[in-house]
């Protein structure tokens, strides 16, 4: 019986005879059997590892029965040349078994090595015990071969490999057998003249036979073409066989280094034109003509470290990181372009974090000696602006200690304040919404009209019970969600009501403000939210468990807005309508491993979409525009009405160029008239 058959037999014997004291279904190794062919293997211990002792033992087999001897809990984490390492976790622990010996083949008079290629053939057991009671066990069948690396003397003379573009690497491809003559391979140097006489008339031809650099047809000295045209001596190629296209190149030539474009943008659109300031949405530029970046969230919800900061667009984001993946952002000594080609320095204030609990969201079991480092916990940027320029930049940086194994929630905020603001509160110079500011909501049917329009911000495991709410920001399309735990015996009507209640909790409002300065006392400043209730189904499930149709699991918020004007060059944006709808899904219980868990997960989502429409409907297209659309120069690449444009006074080129182009155009027209019928036919007939 081979080694693989012995391992399979041992696995069957272990499964057939349960170990004493083993508790079924409590804890388990995953996988529980490993066929080991390398010096290290990993397994996972599923369950609570508190108070559990792990040990490894060598399991000898009974010579008569072939069964493994019964194991006990008195072992240790070292057995012979084997070591056991356990990395504990919350509900899972990583178990690593490694071999502590060399795997080199034995040389003469050498010790502590492998006497045969099959170096290690052993059976191991990893036991998980609580006291003297065995909880579960891991069986490992180790069959490890010795390393087959070269152990002889290595010459210091490096082999020079020629450039295959000019000289072939294999001059005799048919030489396949080392130290012997290959039949019909006339280029094989190992074939003696007597042997070559046996197949001299049947040698391999072409590249395989050693003709790796044949003359090509365009060569003047080549006579391979069956029918040589008469013009061949005038257009043939005079060259040596060293420059052959068969190898790939005619000449080596010189190569030019491509210019790598950097992540920069020009400040000037044309030479000599000054930088005229920022507009809303323009990226802020640094002194090095690069983007001023602060970590921000992408559409997928992940944080992007090199996201440019847009002018007059506030944001407040949180990013998860740990000590291993932590990266420093843009240095705070970078100077920023004010908008007039001048540069200002950032005013930075550093503060230490006193309460780390607000930022450390999850902490694993830390060892006695753990690596810690001072990192940035939060950064708050305040841009003081006036018109199209930046007057001042104030930065507050909070730093603290982050240790290995901890998860940090970093916070980055950017706020634009007008120079005319007082006490940090910005005056309402522009009554419209600005991108990045919260959408104003109200509950006008209640005594307290203050309302809210929020979306979820998941944390931890992403469960709905641990989520927090953040306001909907104007002009920012968002998509968030959480996971709801559902029992297999859940009533479908109660499930629909529970999901609808959690979605409606995000919208504690009946109206949305048209502008950012909407007054609660003026009903004309608000638009009523249009609600499309979810579809209610009366479909009976027939008593089936874990099956519910028409669950309103998706909340869709559509906000229609328009630009109705501008204040100091900044667009005034106004909300015109808000619609809320639901999308239903079919929930079905997902059976996990063994179907032992009666809980399943239902993801519910909320999406926000901003749709821009014209402030006024465009004028209808007239009948003339519909008929003569092909003559419209703004819609077609060819504009026939502007054929004589160079001859008009609106053409801004010098008079001499206009005259030359006009005469050339007249010549083309005259030539077209002459070559057209009937003039051309009479001319050719004569």
**Tens digit of each residue's pLDDT (9 = 90 or more) over 177-222:** 887 888 899 999 888 888 888 888 889 988 788 887 777 777 787 7
- Taken as a whole, the chain contains a residue count of 686
Average pLDDT, rounded, for the chain: 78
User: How many angstroms separate the CA atoms of 408 and 357, rounded?
Assistant: 10
Q: Are the CB atoms for 28 and 136 separated by under 8 Å?
A: yes
User: How many angstroms separate the CA atoms of 263 and 270, rounded?
Assistant: 19
DSSP symbols for 394-417: EEEEEEEEEETTEEEEEEEEEEEE
Give the pLDDT of residue 13.
42
Residue in the structure block whose two tokens are 């932590």 = 326
**Percent of all residues in the chain with a pLDDT value above 90, rounded to a whole number:** 13
Give the pLDDT of residue 364.
56
Give the pLDDT of residue 611.
92
For residue 481, the tally of other CB atoms under 10 A from its CB is: 20
User: How many angstroms separate the CA atoms of 615 and 431, rounded?
Assistant: 16
User: How many angstroms separate the CA atoms of 557 and 516, rounded?
Assistant: 19
End-to-end Cα distance, the chain: 104
Q: Are the CB atoms for 215 and 224 separated by under 8 Å?
A: yes
Residue in the structure block whose two tokens are 């099956």 = 547
Least confident of 441-445, 510-514, 658-662: 658-662
User: How many angstroms separate the CA atoms of 407 and 459, rounded?
Assistant: 12
Residue in the structure block whose two tokens are 């080596």 = 252
Q: Which residue has the higher pLDDT, 649 or 396?
A: 396
Q: Residue 16: enclosing H or E segment and its boundaries?
A: helix 3-16
- Reduced to 3 states (helix: H, G, I; strand: E, B; else coil), residue 318 is strand
- Cα distances (angstroms) measured from residue 339 to each of 287, 292, 345, 387, 468: 11, 13, 14, 10, 38
Residue 300: which residues within 8 A CB-CB, separation 6 or more? none
For residue 377, the tally of other CB atoms under 10 A from its CB is: 22
- Cα distances (angstroms) measured from residue 660 to each of 649, 654, 655, 657: 15, 10, 9, 5
For residue 548, the tally of other CB atoms under 10 A from its CB is: 25
pLDDT band at 529 (very low <50, low <70, confident <90, very high): very high
Three-point CA angle 291, 293, 295, nearest 5°: 155
Q: Are the CB atoms for 319 and 378 separated by under 8 Å?
A: no
- Phi-psi group of 596: left, alpha or beta (phi > 0 → left; psi -120 to 50 → alpha; rest → beta): alpha
User: How many angstroms separate the CA atoms of 106 and 115, rounded?
Assistant: 5
Nearest to 571 by CA among 308, 312, 284, 285: 312
Range list of β-strands (E), 19-164: 28-30, 33-36, 40-46, 53-58, 78-79, 82-87, 92-99, 118-130, 133-145
Mean pLDDT across 582-608: 80
- Reduced to 3 states (helix: H, G, I; strand: E, B; else coil), residue 12 is helix
pLDDT band at 394 (very low <50, low <70, confident <90, very high): very high
Nearest to 375 by CA among 403, 348, 355: 403
pLDDT band at 269 (very low <50, low <70, confident <90, very high): very low
Is residue 260 over pLDDT 60? no
pLDDT band at 26 (very low <50, low <70, confident <90, very high): low
Residue 165: which residues within 8 A CB-CB, separation 6 or more? 247, 248, 249, 252
For residue 432, the tally of other CB atoms under 10 A from its CB is: 24
Q: Are the CB atoms for 610 and 475 separated by under 8 Å?
A: yes
Tokens describing residue 438: 């919260």
Least confident of 356-365, 576-585, 599-608: 356-365
Q: Which residue has the higher pLDDT, 198 or 654?
A: 198
Q: Are the CB atoms for 526 and 518 separated by under 8 Å?
A: yes
Three-point CA angle 134, 137, 141, nearest 5°: 150
Give the pLDDT of residue 46.
87
Mean pLDDT across 429-457: 84
Give the pLDDT of residue 7.
46
**Tens digit of each residue's pLDDT (9 = 90 or more) over 111-167:** 778 878 788 888 888 888 888 888 888 888 888 888 755 444 545 556 666 666 666
- Reduced to 3 states (helix: H, G, I; strand: E, B; else coil), residue 594 is helix
Tokens describing residue 515: 């502008």
User: How many angstroms separate the CA atoms of 511 and 559, rounded?
Assistant: 12
Give the pLDDT of residue 173.
86
Give the pLDDT of residue 413.
92
Q: Which residues of 1-37 are buried (b: 16+ CB within 10 A; e: fewer)?
A: eeeeebbeebeeebeeeeeeeeeeeebbbeeebbbbe
Three-point CA angle 414, 416, 421, nearest 5°: 140
Nearest to 28 by CA among 14, 13, 41, 43: 43
Query: Which phi and psi (to 5°) does residue 196 adopt?
Result: -65, -25
User: How many angstroms separate the CA atoms of 423 and 483, rounded?
Assistant: 41
User: How many angstroms separate the CA atoms of 398 and 380, rounded?
Assistant: 9
Q: Which residues of 341-368 are buried (b: 16+ CB within 10 A; e: fewer)?
A: eeebebeeeeeebeeeeebbeeeeeeee
Is residue 9 over pLDDT 60? no
Give the pLDDT of residue 623.
66
Whether this model's pTM surpasses 0.75 = no
User: How many angstroms separate the CA atoms of 400 and 456, rounded?
Assistant: 27
- Domains defined along the chain, listed by start: 28-145 (2.60.40), 282-418 (no CATH), 446-613 (no CATH), 621-679 (no CATH)
Q: Are the CB atoms for 129 and 73 separated by under 8 Å?
A: yes
Least confident of 258-272, 302-316, 535-549: 258-272
Query: Which phi and psi (to 5°) does residue 119 adopt?
Result: -80, -45
Tokens describing residue 11: 């696995």
């Amino acid at each position: 019986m081979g080694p693989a058959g012995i391992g399979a037999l041992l696995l069957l014997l272990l499964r057939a005879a349960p170990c004493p004291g083993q508790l079924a279904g409590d804890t388990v190794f995953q996988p529980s059997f490993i066929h080991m062919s390398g010096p290290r293997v990993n397994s996972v211990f599923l369950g609570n590892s508190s108070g559990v002792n792990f040990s490894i033992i060598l399991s000898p087999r009974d010579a008569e029965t072939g069964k493994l001897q019964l194991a006990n809990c008195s072992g240790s984490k070292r057995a012979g040349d084997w070591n056991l390492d356990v990395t504990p976790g919350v509900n899972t622990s990583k178990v690593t078994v490694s071999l502590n010996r060399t795997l080199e083949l034995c040389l003469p008079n050498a010790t502590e090595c492998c006497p045969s290629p099959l170096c290690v053939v052993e059976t191991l057991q990893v036991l998980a015990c609580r006291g003297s009671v065995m909880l579960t066990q891991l069986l490992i069948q180790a069959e490890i071969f010795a390393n087959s690396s070269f152990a002889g003397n290595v010459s210091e003379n490096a082999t020079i490999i020629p450039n295959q573009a000019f000289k072939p690497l294999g001059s005799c491809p048919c030489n396949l057998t080392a130290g012997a003559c290959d039949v019909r391979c006339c280029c094989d140097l190992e074939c003696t003249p007597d042997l070559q006489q046996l197949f001299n008339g049947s040698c391999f031809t072409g590249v395989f036979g050693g003709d790796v650099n044949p003359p090509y047809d365009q060569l003047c000295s080549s006579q391979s073409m069956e029918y040589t045209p008469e013009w061949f001596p005038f257009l043939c190629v005079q060259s040596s066989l060293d420059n052959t296209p068969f190898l790939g190149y005619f000449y080596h030539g010189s190569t030019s280094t491509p210019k790598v474009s950097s992540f920069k943008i020009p400040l000037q659109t044309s030479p000599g034109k000054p930088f005229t300031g920022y507009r809303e949405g323009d990226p802020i530029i640094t002194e090095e003509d690069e983007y001023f970046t602060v970590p921000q969230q992408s559409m997928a919800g992940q944080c992007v470290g090199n996201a440019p900061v847009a002018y007059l667009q506030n944001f407040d984001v949180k990013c998860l990181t740990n000590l291993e993946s932590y990266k420093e952002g843009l240095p705070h000594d970078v100077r920023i372009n004010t908008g007039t080609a001048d540069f200002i320095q950032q005013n930075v204030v550093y503060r230490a974090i006193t309460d780390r609990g607000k930022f450390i969201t999850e902490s694993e079991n830390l060892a006695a000696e753990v690596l810690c480092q001072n990192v940035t916990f939060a950064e708050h940027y305040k841009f003081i602006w006036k018109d199209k320029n930046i007057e001042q930049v104030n930065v507050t940086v909070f730093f603290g200690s982050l240790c290995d194994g901890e998860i940090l929630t970093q916070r980055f905020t950017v706020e634009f304040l007008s120079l005319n603001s007082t006490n940090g509160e910005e005056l309402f110079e522009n009554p419209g919404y600005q991108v990045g500011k919260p959408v104003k909501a109200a509950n006008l049917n209640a005594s307290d009209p203050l309302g809210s329009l929020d979306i979820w911000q998941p944390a931890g495991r992403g469960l709905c019970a641990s989520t927090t709410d953040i306001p909907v920001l104007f002009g920012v399309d968002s998509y968030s969600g959480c996971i709801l735990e559902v029992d297999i015996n859940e009533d479908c009507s109660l499930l629909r009501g529970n999901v609808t209640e959690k979605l409606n909790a995000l919208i504690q409002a009946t109206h949305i403000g048209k502008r950012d300065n909407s007054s609660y006392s003026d009903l004309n400043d608000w638009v009523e939210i249009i609600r499309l209730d979810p579809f209610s189904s009366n479909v009976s499930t027939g008593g089936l468990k874990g099956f519910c149709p028409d669950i309103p699991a998706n909340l869709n918020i559509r906000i229609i807005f328009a630009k109705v004007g501008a204040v100091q060059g900044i667009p005034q944006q106004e909300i015109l309508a808000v619609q809320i709808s639901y999308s239903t899904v079919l929930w079905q219980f997902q059976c996990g491993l063994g179907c032992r868990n009666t809980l399943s997960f239902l993801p519910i989502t909320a999406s926000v979409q901003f749709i821009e429409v014209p402030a006024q409907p465009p004028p209808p297209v007239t009948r003339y525009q519909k008929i003569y659309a092909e003559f419209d120069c703004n819609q077609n690449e060819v504009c026939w009405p502007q054929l004589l444009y160079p001859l008009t006074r609106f053409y801004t080129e010098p008079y001499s160029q206009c005259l030359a182009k006009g005469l050339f155009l007249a010549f083309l027209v005259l030539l077209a008239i002459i070559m057209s019928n009937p003039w051309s036919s009479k001319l050719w007939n004569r």
